[in-house]
Structure 1
Amino acid sequence: MKKTIYDYIDSIKKLPIKDKYLKEDILIEDFLVNECDNIKVYYAPHNEYINYKAKIFIVGITPGFQQMSTSIKEARILLEENENIEVIQYKCKVKGRFSGSLRKNIINMLDYIKLNHALNLKSCSELFYEKDYLLHTFSLIPYSVFVKGKNYTGHTPKLINNKFLMSYVYENFLCELNELENVIIIPLGKAVEEVLNKLSEENTINGDNILRGFPHPSGANVNRLIQLEEKKENMMKFIKNKFQ
């Protein structure tokens, strides 16, 4: 069963209110969801709000530490203000989803393949702000995952071959996708796309809705713009066909 903020209210309230949480503040037993070998899974209040009306569904691997820290900070402040839990879940989503430079890169890359034109937007930045009713975001693994204390990237261990991590995909991601109707799925990078292709081959998702070839937008992926250029025409054709 998916963990939610209701399970962690007391633990979040115990945290001091800070501008920024460090690993030693939140990578603690109170937020540990599960572990296996050198893999640790921690709670983050980042993947709980569902936008049922979305047309675009952006899928990452797992919330990184920055997203975890940002969403927990937001939850801590709002709990202090006695905000409604459903509002907290929405605001944590808004604050945490692909925050920082990652969001900027995603926006620029989506604009480059003209998704903004297909949606009648000036820029895909609107998806994260005034037009966020068009967007839903989620992670294959809804919690933050760390391997030997470092952000998990989907490669070591390889996600598609790891039963422990894939269990979260089958138990959480598929349930999330089933709540959405005829969305365009944009996997961020090869590791996510590989898992979605596997699910498509198993006939558990509709592979015709997957935008293939979108590179991982992280600054660490120094070849992302080259990869984007290589796949640009195919992705633009896919988008055009979907919005005809």
Structure 2
Amino acid sequence: MQKQLFEQFSPVIRSLAPTELNGSPTLNAKLRLAQEGDIEVCYAPFEYINPAARIVLVGITPGRTQMLNALKETRKQLDQGADPISTLMAAKKVGAFSGAMRPNLVSLLDCIGVNRWLGIRSCGELFGTASHLMQTTSLLRNPVFINNENYSGNPAMTRHPLLRAQLLSYFGEDVKSLPKAVFIPLGDKVAAALRFVADQGCIDHSRILDGMPHPSGANAERIAYFLGKKSLSELSVKTNPAKLDLARDLLTRKVMALA
């Protein structure tokens, strides 16, 4: 686990004003790692790696909400005198996939049998008593903003020099600390970038379990169909049932093969 950035930025985090911890305009400048045109990369304390993890959930990049949650928890831990590892563990736990998408994520993972493979009742336990089995991360570990808005995948990180460098220098190094884990990308853009990382030799393609719909609430119809809660006849033209059927079947078989 790389701790150099935490050591660099922990004094900055301890000095942040309450307004900055709530996202005031001066925050980004204090935490800026890199900038190119309208693209800005800011530090957030997400370095912690769980080397015993068996499953890694991969998002695209932390959003501002996750960034602020992690910064507030880090400030709290630092003020209480916690050591760096404990602080980073706490920040990661608070900031990771928090919010409304978590119930969808748990249902999708249970649907393809991840809970049975891991020997737990439900993947909801991964966010509690079974958290030692999971690593949550993002392809772009540090938050990326475009014109001060959350980065959502455009421009493609594999083609933009700054974003590609962030991808390979941080995520590419993190995966080397997770030698026994399988990786589940959340969304097609994440899956494509994860395959790019595999093409660079950072991870074996066989350890990528892609095809699951993104757990965002905006993806409600695809999720409902994937979970068997909505029938083929009820689908709108925006949803491709054949793609979802194939993905569900392939993922279920891949998870069964892990056992």
Q: TM-score, normalised by structure 1?
A: 0.91
Secondary structure of the 2:121 match is coil
Q: How does 1:58-69 map to 2 (within 5 A)?
A: 58-69=57-68
The alpha-carbon deviation at position 25 of structure 1 amounts to 5.8
CA distance in 2 between partners of 1:106 and 1:3 (Å): 32
Report the counterpart of residue 238 of structure 1 in structure 2. 254
What's 1:162 paired with? Answer: 160
Change (3 A) 1:27 1:212: same
- Asked if the contact 1:217–1:224 (Cα under 8 Å) also holds between the matched residues in 2, the reply is no
User: When the two structures are superposed, what TM-score results if normalisation uses the length of structure 2?
Assistant: 0.86
Shift of 1:22: 3.2
Q: Which residue in 1 is equivalent to 2:197?
A: 199
Shift of 1:3: 5.3
Partner of 2:211: 213
Aligned AA (2:159): N
Q: Distance in 1 between matches of 2:182 and 2:131?
A: 15
Aligned-residue identity in percent: 31
SS of the residue corresponding to residue 24 of structure 1 reads coil
CA distance in 1 between counterparts of 2:25 and 2:137 reads 24
Q: 1:234 to 1:181 in 2, by over 3 A?
A: same
SS of residue matched to 2:257: helix
* Alignment partner, residue 94 of structure 1: 93
- Aligned length in residues: 240
Partner SS for 2:135 = strand
CA RMSD of aligned residues (A): 2.0
Deviations 1:79-127 (A, max 9, x none): 1111112110111111111111122221121112221111111110111
Change (3 A) 1:202 1:84: closer
CA deviation vs aligned residue, 1:211-233 (integer Å, no higher than 9, x gap): 01022222233444167451211
Instruction: Tell me which structure has the larger Cα radius of gyration.
Output: 2
Shift in CA distance, 62/99, structure 1 to aligned 2, threshold 3 Å? same
Equivalent residue, structure 2, for 1:8: 9
- Name the SS of the counterpart of 2:158 in structure 1: helix
Matches within 5 A, 1:106-121: 106-121=105-120
Residue of structure 1 equivalent to 2:145: 146
Q: List gaps (5 residues or longer) in structure 1.
A: none
Task: Work out whether residues 60 and 190 of structure 2, in 8 Å CA contact, stay in contact via their aligned partners in 1.
Answer: yes
- In the TM superposition, structure 1's runs of 4+ consecutive aligned residues that sit over 4 Å from their partners are none
Asked if 2 retains the 8 angstrom alpha-carbon contact of 1:56 and 1:184, the reply is yes
Alpha-carbon distance between aligned partners in 2 of 1:204 and 1:49, rounded to the nearest angstrom:
19
